[in-house]
Copies of this chain bind each other. A is one copy, B any other.
Amino acid sequence: MNKENNLSKNQQIVFDIIEKSREPVKAYSILFNVKKKGIKAPPQVYRALEKLIKLGKIHKVESKNAFVACKSSNCEISKATAFSICETCEKVTEISDKKLSKYLKNFHDKTGMIYKKYNLEFYGLCTTCKRS
């Protein structure tokens, strides 16, 4: 364990890759990038990813099978995620909107189900792609 932040060696290596990236990173892209650091096999990456998600340090963008560092509530355990995804340039941005998260956290359906977590992915055209 790394004392400062509670991450183990592999977890830190994987997290660093994701954090530095400006876009969602795929598991096998991570794997490729950490071969030089001694991580050789998929389970090592997937285990680190799983732990990082549990810790709220990263999120999985489900519709892209890719991972991003949590920007909105850094280092807190986050079970509420929202992303905007540009269908043209593929840019993914985490949305942190108090009203939206409040609305969704308080949402109840008719059945009385208890929601502990949600993931919302918007698709559309980002402002850059809109212009062109």
Binding site for B on A (CB under 8 A): 62-63, 84, 86-87, 93, 95, 97, 100, 103-104, 107, 109-127, 130
Contact check, B63 vs A119: say whether CB atoms are below 8 A apart: yes
| Set B95, B116, B119: member contacting A120, Cβ < 8 A | B119
Q: How many copies does the complex hold?
A: 2
Contact check, A127 vs B112: say whether CB atoms are below 8 A apart: yes
Contact check, B130 vs A114: say whether CB atoms are below 8 A apart: yes
Contacts known (A62-B62, A84-B113, A95-B109); A122 close to B127, Cβ less than 8 A: no
Contacts known (A87-B116, A103-B103, A119-B63); A111 close to B124, Cβ less than 8 A: no
Q: How far is the CB of A130 from chain B (nearest CB, A)?
A: 6
What chain B residues lie within 8 Å of A113 (beta carbons)?
84, 86, 122, 124-127, 130
Assembly CA distance A122 to B121 (angstroms): 12
- Please give me the residue from chain B that is nearest to A112 by CB atom: B127
Q: How far is the CB of A47 from chain B (nearest CB, A)?
A: 19
Q: Pick the 4 closest A-B CB pairs, nearest first.
A: A62-B62, A117-B123, A115-B124, A120-B120
What chain B residues lie within 8 Å of A121 (beta carbons)?
62, 118-120
What chain B residues lie within 8 Å of A110 (beta carbons)?
97
